[in-house]
Structure 1
Amino acid sequence: MNTAKLIGALLIIASISVGYIGMNKIADNTKEVNFLGLKINASNESGKQQGYLYVGAAILLFAGGLYALKSKSNA
């Protein structure tokens, strides 16, 4: 196994873990309470934004991993 394929596999594994962290951040910072027929939104917008940044980074890492796996190296 050459180095590019190893780096690609590591990037894909890292993207899965970063995406998992991001999805948990989004879910943890989205809260809604239904009290006597009123919906009260108690979301943390900055926490949700940070979660979306993690998900975006995971997409970039995944794309980089796929590119590294498919690249043809002459090594």
Structure 2
Amino acid sequence: MNSIKIIGAILILVSIGFGYLGFNKVADNTAEVKFLGLKIDASNESGKQQGYIYLGLAAILLAGGIYTINKSKK
């Protein structure tokens, strides 16, 4: 295994970690309560935004890892 494949695999593993953190951050900062027919939203928008940033970074790292591994095959 050459070093480019190892770097690609590390990028993919890091992207999985960022995806997990982002998904949990979005889920933890989303809250909704229904009370007497009223829907009350108690979400933390800045926390959700951080979660979406993590998810975006995860997608970029995943694409980079896949590209790196495919590039090393040529």
TM bucket by the smaller chain?
Answer: over 0.9
1:51 aligns with 2:51: yes
Equivalent position amino acid for 1:66 in 2: I
TM-score when normalising by structure 1: 0.93
Q: In structure 2, what is the equivalent of residue 70 of structure 1?
A: 70
Partner of 1:25: 25
1:36 corresponding residue in structure 2: 36
Q: Following TM superposition, where does structure 1 have runs of at least 4 consecutive aligned residues deviating by more than 3 angstroms?
A: none
Q: Which runs of 5+ in 1 are unaligned?
A: none
Q: State how many pairs are aligned.
A: 74
More helix by share: 2
Q: Which runs of 5+ in 2 are unaligned?
A: none
* TM-score, with length taken from structure 2: 0.94
- Following TM superposition, by how much is the alpha carbon of 1:36 offset from its aligned partner in structure 2, in angstroms? 1.1
